[in-house]
A = this chain, B = another copy of it.
Amino acid sequence: MIDCGEGTQLQLRRSKLKFARLNHVFISHIHGDHCFGLIGMISTFSMLGRTADLHVYAPEALEPVLRLELATFCRGLEFQVVFHAHPGGHALIYEDRSVAVYTIPLSHRVPSTGFLFCEKPVLPHIRRDMVDYLGIPFYAIQSIKEGAGWTTADGRVVPHERLVFPAEAPRRYAYCSDTTYLPRLADYVKGVDLLFHEATFGEDNRARAAETFHSTAKQAAMLARDAGVKRLLIGHYSARYTDERVLLDEAREMFPETQLAEEGMVLPI
């Protein structure tokens, strides 16, 4: 989960996602719309009998208040809330066998951090037709997926490349909110499959965006274009925009592959 504003537990319930599958929460910065839902979600997990640790990656300023909230509201919690303070800069903060997560340094009124989720490369898929044709035994398949070829009974060597279909390219997702427009972010998010970037304002409020350390839709699109990302998702709109299509139009002029984030949206990558 990335960020956890007030009411997140309700949205999570509406999403039908299994609560138990959530083990890592990444908090970008300590403004309320990004973290006030954490204590309520943790309380609810506790009431539902959770026992698995929950890892929270957040600015260090959040730790004392979260600790006191837990001590005050969640006595006898049967799982650990493991707090990981952001190390600053562009750093690896989480890794397992399928994904690595890096911080992206942003610039906002308080310390703010974006996140880059990098799927790890997966092995190529074995070609079933070749397995059948050559009579390759089951025990040999893993080593072929890992790069080996196959030598037939009559000594003919079939190279690895003929035995597999290439794996899908590892997917990458970047999340950048809240932040002023930072052209240098292009280095961190270069070529990602999906970039979420805040677009609090339109060009009509470009000065206000700079003053409040937010971005305009057009600036988000400039970043997407300069980083050569595949798709851009904009969100975090100011309440003054009752119709966000003006933001979408401004972004698409610069970067056509832009979409508006919506409540409850599911976006396959």
Contacts and interface: CB of A to CB of B under 8 A. Distances in A.
Interface of A: 6-7, 9-10, 30-32, 36-37, 39-40, 43-44, 61-62, 64-65, 68-69, 72-73
Q: Counting chain B CB atoms within 10 Å of each CB, which of A9, A32, A43, A69 scores highest?
A: A32
A220 to B, nearest CB: 23
B32 A73 contact: yes
A40 B30 contact: no
Given A7-B7, A36-B40, 7 more contacts: A6-B9, A6-B10, A6-B36, A6-B37, A6-B40, A32-B73, A36-B39
A30 B73 CA distance: 7
Contacts of A9: 6
A217 to B, nearest CB: 22
**Chain A contact residues, majority secondary structure:** helix
14 contacts: A6-B7, A6-B9, A7-B7, A7-B10, A30-B73, A31-B73, A32-B44, A36-B39, A36-B73, A61-B72, A64-B72, A65-B65, A65-B73, A68-B68
A69 B64 CA distance: 9
Contacts of A64: 68, 72
- What are the nearest 4 A-B pairs in CB distance? A6-B40, A32-B43, A7-B7, A65-B72
Nearest to A42: B32
Contacts of A69: 65, 69
Contacts of A62: 72
Contacts of A6: 6-7, 9-10, 36-37, 40
A54 to B, nearest CB: 16
Contacts of A40: 6, 32, 36
Contact of A30 (B44, B68, B72): B72
Nearest to A72: B65
A145 B8 CA distance: 54
A3 to B, nearest CB: 14
Contacts of A61: 72
A10 B44 CA distance: 20
Contacts of A32: 39-40, 43-44, 73
Nearest to A10: B7
A30 to B, nearest CB: 6
A69 B61 CA distance: 11
Contacts of A43: 32, 36
Residue among A6, A40, A72 with the most chain B CB within 10 A?
A6
A9 B62 CA distance: 22
